[in-house]
Amino acid sequence: MQWSSQSCRAHVFAAPGLEGTTAKVYCLDDMLEPDEMQRLASMEEEPATCFITPQEPHVFNIRCFNTTQEIRLCGHGLLASARVVLEQTGSSSVTFQTCSDSVKARYDTKNDSIEIAFAPLHSASVSPPKWLKECFSTLPLQVAQAGPTDGYWVMQWPQGTLQNLQVDAEKLSMNTQRALIATEAATDDIYDYYFRYFAPQHGVIEDKATGSAQRVLISYWSEILNQCNVKARQYSKEGAELLGRVEDQDVWISGNVDIER
């Protein structure tokens, strides 16, 4: 296996008219101390800075940080890292060991793209919490939770609401440790659904492009739409396009990844 220390910047989830987001990727021989990785991530000022080291053939350790803390599971950082590692090693598939999960990555020859697989994270409907009126300009239609107490809220709004939805990030962070995935059914023929992502409790007031949210949304919308393949637009200021599908026991996430050398 070929491996050399290097660093590069990647643009992820961009599409015509949509900027997507960015990540800095460091390929290293040995993993740095967490304090040093956090220091570098703060200096880079990227939505994600990823550090990769080889563990064994086709298996790599990866740690991802934003400017203030470690990201347990960073979808766009993993996609960017997968592109770098697959190109450098000449492999068709690799596995990343994150601080919380094992993530498969592979080159999809059919669609000429990179994709990563997560175990699905299903959501369950719950009663709306009392603080909704404090946080949102419009109330959602449906409310669900996914993951542990610091996992996700999945809230579905009426069509045509999401783009102009006002979210009070300070009050949201005061009332819950869960990140908010706000979503609605698409109103065009290009996408299946739209979403926005807010995690002020974790240093992200509103994210540009959130691959990890797709881990929840692919399962959520596949059941509603009764289809395995989905296409989503993230309604951040920058905008992003994300693809996903359900295959066997995994949810696969992909999108455009361009490396800036």
With cut-offs at 50, 70 and 90, classify the pLDDT of residue 101: confident
With cut-offs at 50, 70 and 90, classify the pLDDT of residue 261: confident
For a pLDDT cut of 90, what percent of the chain falls above it?
89
Compute the average pLDDT of residues 23-28.
97
Query: In angstroms, what CA-CA distances link 203 with 10, 26, 56, 70?
Result: 21, 22, 33, 10
Is 131 among the domain residues? yes
Domain identity same for 108 and 205: no
Domain identity same for 105 and 142: no
Residue 1 clears pLDDT 70, i.e. is over it: no
Domain identity same for 146 and 190: yes
Domain identity same for 106 and 166: no
pLDDT in tens, 63-91: 999 999 999 899 999 999 999 999 999 99
Nearest alpha-carbon partner for 211 in 244, 185, 179, 180? 244
Locus of tokens 């009126």: 133
Counting the structural domains of the chain, the total is 2
Domain identity same for 161 and 87: no
Domain identity same for 88 and 42: yes
Residue 4 clears pLDDT 90, i.e. is over it: no
Structural contact between residues 37 and 63, judged by C-beta atoms closer than 8 angstroms: yes
Residue 219 clears pLDDT 90, i.e. is over it: yes
User: Average pLDDT over the chain, rounded to whole?
Assistant: 94
pTM, rounded to two decimals = 0.92
Domain identity same for 96 and 133: no
DSSP, residue by residue, the chain: -----EEEEEEES-BTTB--EEEEEEE-SSPPPHHHHHHHHHHHT-S-EEEEEEEETTEEEEEEE-SSSEESS-HHHHHHHHHHHHHHH--SEEEEE-SS-EEEEEEETTTTEEEEEE----EEE-PPPTTHHHHBSS--SEEEEESSTTSEEEEEPPTT-GGG--B-HHHHHHH-SSEEEEEEE-SSSS-SEEEEEEBGGGTBSS-S--HHHHHHHHHHHHHHHT-SEEEEEE-SSS-EEEEEEEETTEEEEE--EEEE-
Beta bridge partners of 25: 8, 50
Domain identity same for 185 and 214: yes
With cut-offs at 50, 70 and 90, classify the pLDDT of residue 100: confident
Residue numbers of the domain that contains 186: 123-246
Domain identity same for 140 and 195: yes
Domain identity same for 69 and 168: no
Compute the average pLDDT of residues 225-234.
96
Nearest alpha-carbon partner for 23 in 72, 69, 83? 83
Structural contact between residues 116 and 101, judged by C-beta atoms closer than 8 angstroms: no
Is 1 among the domain residues? no
Compute the average pLDDT of residues 51-62.
95
What CATH number is associated with residue 41? 3.10.310.10
Neighbours of 35 (CB within 10 A): 8
Higher pLDDT, 261 or 155: 155
Compute the average pLDDT of residues 195-208.
93
Domain identity same for 91 and 17: yes
Domain identity same for 204 and 224: yes
Please give the Cα distance from 134 to 151 (Å, whole number). Answer: 20
For a pLDDT cut of 70, what percent of the chain falls above it?
100
With cut-offs at 50, 70 and 90, classify the pLDDT of residue 113: confident
Q: Are strands 70-71 and 59-65 parallel, antiparallel or unpaired?
A: antiparallel
Is 75 among the domain residues? yes
